Amino acid sequence: MTAELMNGRIIAALKRISHDFSIKDFLNAKPVQDASALIGEWVYVNPHSVPESVIEVQADGSFFETLVENNLITAGTVKAENGGYAFYDSGNHLYLRFTPDPLIPNTYQDDKSQGGRLVSIAEYEQPNDWGYYDPVIYPATSISVAGLNGIWKNADGSGESFEIYDGRSIYHGRFALTDSDGKEELGDVRLQYRYNQDGEKRFCFTFYGDNGKIYYTLDASGSIPMNDLFGYQSGELHFIRQE
């Protein structure tokens, strides 16, 4: 508004303001979406409830999917679109798309399958009674239970020994333990992991007797050849390969 004095009277002129302060733009504005809710590790479970891959989503929106069957890795980016999350491969082609499960927290449904879903790895991998986890994805190294096949003797001179032989897979074998009195116990040996104080996974070989007892937890170093096994928490326990 401008005003001026003319013939003793104040004349005012109004100018239309070009700015529109209505709330229509606010009401029509769509909320900003991002993929931050997916940052972390997830397990893709197929319609038959079998884990097929582990998907890691990073803070910059990139993702890495590792297949359970062969450790094949696919990389790309994640975008929040139309109430869901779209995964694009490195060629910017739509690879996967998920929408939140309305009934189960931290779970997302696969738009392209009948029942496939994305589940938080923290909820999928649960520790057993001793605090050890069975991994969905095993380390892509030489670490395996099959690499332990043979006879091992306790270095303490007690005469205790055990034999490891083939089991259900290269990560899950069988053992026969002979104690210092000559008594034999049978059980399973598995490649498992625990979290250390820094929150990092540390793999180990765990020995579970058929009697329900846990006998040993030995460090899974992955060294080649594997001729020595040491205690997971202490270097005092030491087994030496005999054959």
| Mean of all residue pLDDT scores within the chain | 84
What class has domain 36-124? mainly beta
- % of residues, the chain, pLDDT over 70: 84
Question: How far apart are alpha carbons 184 and 38 in whole angstroms?
Answer: 49
Give the closest residue to 232 by CA, choosing from 200, 199, 193.
Answer: 193
The per-residue b/e assignment along 61-74, b for 16 or more CB within 10 angstroms, e otherwise, is: bebebbebeeeeeb
pLDDT at 62 over 90: yes
pLDDT at 26 over 60: no
pLDDT digits (tens, 9 = 90+) for 158-168: 999 999 998 77
pLDDT at 152 over 90: yes
For residue 64, give every residue at least 6 positions away whose Cβ sits within 8 Å of its Cβ, in sequence order, or none: 55, 56, 58, 73, 74, 75
pLDDT digits (tens, 9 = 90+) for 100-151: 988 888 889 998 767 789 999 888 888 999 999 998 888 766 788 998 999 9
Q: Tell me, yes or no, if the pTM score tops 0.85.
A: no
pLDDT digits (tens, 9 = 90+) for 70-92: 889 999 999 999 889 999 999 99
Domain boundaries, the chain: 36-124, 146-241
CB atoms within 10 A of CB 84: 15
> Would you give the end-to-end CA distance of the chain in angstroms?
99
